[in-house]
Structure 1
């Protein structure tokens, strides 16, 4: 089975059901979407060679969705470049992957003024919605790829270092799709809203929905007001959100009095959800919550925490709410040396571009996350290995301190990093976003943490900001936080 077979199957079952609804509100039924995918494959096949990289630099759109399926169908590798990066960062990724064709929105292509000189491999540049891309599906099956052929090449968020190019095959992506359909109990026939940029692995959720014949609504970017309107306009029943997005949505609903009566399910990831935020969401939305843990290298989620576990967490077992969930049956998760989480399964990428192994000789992926597993088999992500602060010879989990800080009534969000300290080696530094108009004293926050955690884990520095820097998939950008904290403290 190949990626585009998901759409072909849905088109055969319910041809006139909308497959994709773009940010402009235009719906494309499954049968027409299938035809457009075949046309993209035909055009790509006529203008490139097998194995070529076809790069895309664009906002979420129906045209982008066609490329998701159409480029791999032609036996080429869809290379997803984050449209929000600076041109210099984009040139670096394009130079590494050496695409022959670049597809994009005019606004993003116009920024790449040095594309031809910086990336000599490029022989053709075309806009994502060009009529020629969907003109004629003839020849789309001339070179049907194999399941293990590369389909997508996408970059990690780089939240803890230089982004790496991850190569996924049809087989690995479809393995993640099957795992999510089972692990999250995805309902057929629903309407799903995707607010994450499609250049990130979160875009695989579109395939998860198409696997059960559901409609996917694409948001060009996340804004709470536009998100709520899209839910109402299209009768959205399910969505995915980062906790930061959920907080913004709840604030919007509270301020406007708006409701989302059709919404039944919210999946979240990138961070555990604070218990107070979850309670507020359940009170206001009355939906099922699903947590998922995965990363770019796993082509999707590998563990899931379902609605029943969320309700149990709120009913007297709050520790469950900090869990990442239980591995689905088609993947293995274990704790390795130093507490590092290791993952193995068909959905795990075998390599980083161009030829660096992503897994060890036994197929285990080192995630870079530190975790533990409880007696009931739930995985807990303690922290990123790079986010462990070593102060006075003691290891401090930044996430643990962040959880303590966000339990304070006047703290909206917080990020904790290590900063150089002549005596301690590193000191714990908290960068805090306060609730509007209720900025607490730094000494009060330090005392608040010390009341909950052992003394050496308390912040020695507290800095306040209006908002935390985020990567485009909703994670706090710890590199940016670390640079800011060190700069402020030096000053």
Structure 2
């Protein structure tokens, strides 16, 4: 199964390299592999099994991706939830997918005290119970999960109505990743600051770059100052954001004295790139830009406009705008 193979390959090839970073800690590929397996055993001991739906309600943090990998390892389906949804919206999604458990941050879980009766387990990432999951579990044989088995239910952004659930199998994640990586041809030293949420199709971008062995830096929420600091602190080579985030970063006072020289590529999506933002960014950042186009309905990003297909500095005008992906 693709996600398990992703972890195993990176554990073998780069065990000591940092895989994930958040505001609290970092983990190597070896640590991520081992914790994911341990967590899978703990969730299985708690009654989670093949075909179960498990909702995840959290801001971006390492435990979110640990849970995705662990649930997929069991053949259970992870169901990322938009943490800004109102109580009826969260309850509605949980009810529609028939989630048997909810994992997340205690602050967010506390907002949703009343959940459908299908939920029999609630575990907070920031409480000792989650850290203990699997540490005392007996070793058991984990199921073989086929690439054609469903492992996630992703929800659309609901810009035109109610969020739609999209069931995704491992083969879809693999196809998206391999197709993308063949086109983008990432190097072995990528550090990517992820400014986007891990709760719909945008999170597939992070999975795709993890498949290439990249280090992914997570933030609990976007602010210009936090994003600038993350790039400078981790010497990030790549960023993944939406154009408005880039505008706010360039407008921030801190951008004038923050070292962003490590950036080689800015990935952007979800909206057109305004010409003024692009022109300013090209001049000030001096890196490449990659447009990302995708749909949660098809499993994530599937079209890209690479740096060599973007206009050269000074060529961005209303007569020669940034082209759209094809």
* TM-score category (smaller protein): over 0.9
Question: Where does residue 117 of structure 2 map in the other structure?
Answer: 120
Shift of 1:324: 2.7
Question: Where does residue 289 of structure 2 map in the other structure?
Answer: 289
**Larger relative contact order (C-alpha < 8 A, sep ≥ 6)?**
2
Question: Where does residue 63 of structure 1 map in the other structure?
Answer: 63
Counterparts in 2 of 1:262 and 1:322: CA distance versus 1, 3 Å: closer
Counterparts in 2 of 1:255 and 1:207: CA distance versus 1, 3 Å: closer
Which range moves more in the overlay, 308-317 or 65-74? 308-317
Question: Where does residue 169 of structure 2 map in the other structure?
Answer: 169
CA distance in 1, matches of 2:151, 2:122: 20
Matched, 1:38 2:37: yes
The 5 A counterparts of 1:33-432 are 33-46=32-45, 47-115=47-115, 119-129=116-126, 130-135=130-135, 139=139, 141-253=141-253, 256-312=256-312, 315=315, 321-326=321-326
Question: Where does residue 28 of structure 1 map in the other structure?
Answer: 27
CA distance in 1, matches of 2:211, 2:104: 27
Note the aligned Cα RMSD (angstroms): 1.9
Shift of 1:290: 0.3
Shift of 1:60: 0.8
Deviation beyond 6 Å, 4+ runs, structure 1: none
Question: Which stretches in structure 1 are left out of the alignment for 5+ residues?
Answer: 327-491
Q: How many residues align?
A: 322
Higher share of residues assigned strand: 1
Shift of 1:156: 0.4
Q: Which secondary structure does the structure 2 equivalent of 1:110 belong to?
A: helix
CA distance in 2, matches of 1:176, 1:13: 22
Q: Which secondary structure does the structure 2 equivalent of 1:177 belong to?
A: helix
Shift of 1:257: 3.4
Question: Where does residue 400 of structure 1 map in the other structure?
Answer: none
Shift of 1:41: 1.4
CA distance in 2, matches of 1:51, 1:248: 42
Q: Which secondary structure does the structure 1 equivalent of 2:48 belong to?
A: coil
8 A contact 2:310–2:323 mirrored in 1: no
8 A contact 2:193–2:216 mirrored in 1: yes
Counterparts in 2 of 1:253 and 1:263: CA distance versus 1, 3 Å: farther
Counterparts in 2 of 1:128 and 1:319: CA distance versus 1, 3 Å: farther
Counterparts in 2 of 1:150 and 1:227: CA distance versus 1, 3 Å: same
8 A contact 1:58–1:104 mirrored in 2: yes
Shift of 1:300: 1.9
